Chains A and B, each alone.
Chain A
């Protein structure tokens, strides 16, 4: 037996396993279906999140001798903060998914941009996990959370504008096609 035999056999088996995974039905998406016209963004909850990570309330409770209550409040707020992060991630996932759909429906795409988006998306997910880990360890990441929220918000605004533009152009194209049809029938 040679090492190269193992490499080849391993490659073939890995490819087969990857194909099995790709052909498997994606896990049923139990999340709420995304409606493009639904303009509710998780950014609106940012003031509450600011309150959630503030240590003032906790210090006050401790100073009043209510350490158990302070701990319970901290745990509950931490849970809410993680839920907020998950919601931000979901919002971002949907926006990038929309970008992929737009790419698939475009007459031409820029491979460099597609690759860059894929790479950056992976990097974003990785760093988000690190932020979560740091929060679990007790770090206060409030300013950065604000930046993250602003970025997601900006992407959403731009995508909404693009969808609006898309709708207008689609209506215009339909109108033009209809006008052309009328013209043809007149000449026919």
Chain B
């Protein structure tokens, strides 16, 4: 896999260039004002790349120390990624404060449950715990983004650009992390260099998508819509639920009577 080494270096260089370009676009188009957390995430990714350059080319640490440092930095960047995705969710439902609170809770619960599920399973090899954690975060974030779009469809909320493309970028990267880490777990001795290279490629794809969508400036969103008095929701919602429940019970009774 010698070719992976040189290609990997080229991909690494390309990803750094794209990160810098994206940061420049965020500043130049003033999108950093609207997406401060996403901008912070890109800055963190740039700093991560810089720290890797230092670690691998200028430091004289042993391999274990370098690996620990690299995973620690990766952990911080992953936390920034979680925050950036939460920022996107906030923007998608910014005009709907009532359902936004509920959806935030549902997404948080989804992230916790999926991450626990993904982390709890596996070969339980102690040295792979970081890999499990990385994969668990990837799967939970991918699930959270899908759940976000499910809620948006259910409540007839259309995620506007650039929010949709930015979310897709995060989804593609998170999904690929899950696949890549799972394959690495099985073929840990031979897949290592390719794992790194493919991970970089998926990140480059997400960076290209973000660059493409953020090359435009976006107008400020309109003011929130006029909200209804809370009493209307409580009246209507409880009434509809009651009727649905009654309907369900009567249909159920009918089916039992007919021997189903």
- Which A residues fall within an 8 A CB radius of B? 1-2, 4-5, 7-9, 11-12, 15-16, 18-19, 22-23, 26, 95-111, 113-114, 116-118, 120-121, 123-124, 127-128, 130-131, 134, 139, 141, 143-144, 147-148, 151-152, 154-155, 158-159, 162, 165-166, 169-170, 173
Tell me if A154 and B243 are in contact (CB < 8 A).
Answer: yes
Tell me if B248 and A120 are in contact (CB < 8 A).
Answer: yes
Q: Would you give the shortest CB distance from A135 to chain B, in whole angstroms?
A: 10
**Which among B97, B142, B157, B243 is the interface contact of A107 at CB below 8 angstroms?**
B97
Q: Would you give the shortest CB distance from B187 to chain A, in whole angstroms?
A: 10
**Which among B145, B146, B186, B240 is the interface contact of A2 at CB below 8 angstroms?**
B186
A-B contact pairs, 28 of them (CB 8 A): A4-B121, A4-B122, A5-B185, A8-B135, A8-B182, A12-B142, A12-B175, A12-B178, A19-B145, A98-B236, A100-B154, A102-B233, A102-B237, A104-B96, A104-B155, A105-B98, A105-B227, A105-B228, A109-B237, A114-B99, A114-B102, A114-B237, A121-B244, A127-B251, A141-B254, A144-B253, A148-B247, A162-B236
Residue of A nearest to B171 (CB): A19
Across the A-B interface, give the 5 residue pairs with the lowest CB-CB distance, nearest first: A106-B233, A127-B251, A120-B244, A144-B254, A8-B182
Tell me if A117 and B178 are in contact (CB < 8 A).
Answer: no
> How distant is the Cα of A103 from the Cα of B101 in the complex, in angstroms?
12
Contacts of A108 in B (CB 8 A): 97-98, 101, 230, 233
Of residues 150 through 167 on chain B, the ones whose CB sits less than 8 Å from some CB of chain A are: 150, 153-157, 164
Contacts of A118 in B (CB 8 A): 154
- Given A5-B186, A11-B139, A148-B250: A134 in contact with B237 (beta carbons within 8 A): no
Contacts of A158 in B (CB 8 A): 235-236, 239-240, 243
> How distant is the Cα of A95 from the Cα of B243 in the complex, in angstroms?
11
Contacts of B96 in A (CB 8 A): 104-105
> How distant is the Cα of A183 from the Cα of B153 in the complex, in angstroms?
42
> How distant is the Cα of A7 from the Cα of B183 in the complex, in angstroms?
12
Contacts of A143 in B (CB 8 A): 254
Residue of A nearest to B96 (CB): A104
> How distant is the Cα of A98 from the Cα of B240 in the complex, in angstroms?
10
**Main secondary structure on B side of the interface with A:** helix
- Given A22-B149, A22-B150, A111-B105: A120 in contact with B241 (beta carbons within 8 A): yes
> How distant is the Cα of A109 from the Cα of B182 in the complex, in angstroms?
39
> How distant is the Cα of A54 from the Cα of B182 in the complex, in angstroms?
62
Tell me if A123 and B258 are in contact (CB < 8 A).
Answer: no
Tell me if B146 and A22 are in contact (CB < 8 A).
Answer: yes
> How distant is the Cα of A170 from the Cα of B248 in the complex, in angstroms?
34
- Given A106-B228, A124-B251, A148-B251: A96 in contact with B258 (beta carbons within 8 A): no
Tell me if A169 and B229 are in contact (CB < 8 A).
Answer: yes
Contacts of A114 in B (CB 8 A): 99, 102, 237
**Which among B97, B153, B252 is the interface contact of A22 at CB below 8 angstroms?**
B153
Residue of B nearest to A116 (CB): B241
Q: Would you give the shortest CB distance from A96 to chain B, in whole angstroms?
A: 6
Contacts of A102 in B (CB 8 A): 228, 232-233, 236-237
B238 in contact (CB, < 8 A):
yes
- Given A2-B186, A8-B182, A12-B178: A96 in contact with B240 (beta carbons within 8 A): yes
> How distant is the Cα of A154 from the Cα of B241 in the complex, in angstroms?
12
- Given A8-B182, A103-B233: A139 in contact with B175 (beta carbons within 8 A): no
> How distant is the Cα of A139 from the Cα of B255 in the complex, in angstroms?
11
- Given A23-B164, A101-B156, A114-B102: A139 in contact with B258 (beta carbons within 8 A): yes
Q: Would you give the shortest CB distance from A103 to chain B, in whole angstroms?
A: 6
Residue of A nearest to B121 (CB): A4
Contacts of A148 in B (CB 8 A): 247, 250-251
Contacts of A165 in B (CB 8 A): 232, 235
